[in-house]
Amino acid sequence: MCLGTAVTMIILMSWKLFYMIGARKNLQKIDRSASSQMAAGFSLMEVIISVALFSVIILSATGIFKLVIDGQRSAIATQNVQESLKYFLEVINKEMRMAQKNEAVCPGIPDDEIFIVSETGSSDTLIFKNYYNQCVTYSLVSDGDSQRFQVSRNSETGFISPAKIWIDDLDFVLNASTSTQALLTVNLRAHALNERQFQSEMTLQTSVASRYYK
């Protein structure tokens, strides 16, 4: 019994020793193969494929980044146009709402009228007397590289639209069918003075009724 056990142990130890020797030889072969491959380097095809994949990744990332930047610039341009138009529309709406019937104060306006609209070129000009008995004129005027909304009150003249906003068209439509209260509709088209893809063109329309009754 003891002899059989000893023989079995010797056989197992011998097999284990042969296995370790064989594994060591295989590892040496693998190391030599890997070393030879590393010494050989990458093939031309592998380099070309790697460069192509890297280029595709870089171009895709650049395109996505450009789309994000362009979208942000377009949103900012739209916001600037909206805020600018909202400001000066509030200003002129308040003044037009308080317009008075002319009583031999403003030349060119009949005494029984509140608003006078005249066409000047591609846009309209509005003339009326405001609450402070000033003769007011609204018109479009070229100002350097921009076309702006100009307000004239007696001898004082100024712009209320910013230079970065180009006013393309300005129309005043007077509702003549209203016999007791003057109703005026303002049509306005403008865009931001940016690159073409960021101009953010916008069209607005508002109606104002004078509080002065004929």
Say if 46 falls within a structural domain.
Answer: no
Query: What pLDDT digit, counting tens, does each position of 116-169 carry?
Result: 998 877 789 999 999 899 999 999 999 888 899 999 999 899 998 888 888 889
- Please list the residues that pair with 137 across neighbouring strands: 127, 152
Say if 73 falls within a structural domain.
Answer: yes
Name the least confident of 22-36, 98-112, 186-200.
Answer: 22-36
DSSP string, 2-42: HHHHHHHHHHHHHHHHHHHHHHHHHHHHHHHHHHHHHHH--
Domain, as residue range, for 153: 68-213
Say if 22 falls within a structural domain.
Answer: no
Say if 10 falls within a structural domain.
Answer: no
Provide the number of structural domains found in the chain: 1
Say if 129 falls within a structural domain.
Answer: yes
Does residue 16 surpass a pLDDT of 80? no
Say if 51 falls within a structural domain.
Answer: no
Q: What CA–CA distance (Å, rounded) separates 5 from 25?
A: 30
Say if 9 falls within a structural domain.
Answer: no
For the record, the structure tokens of 87 come out as: 């400001």
Query: What pLDDT digit, counting tens, does each position of 46-65 carry?
Result: 778 888 888 888 888 888 88
Say if 74 falls within a structural domain.
Answer: yes
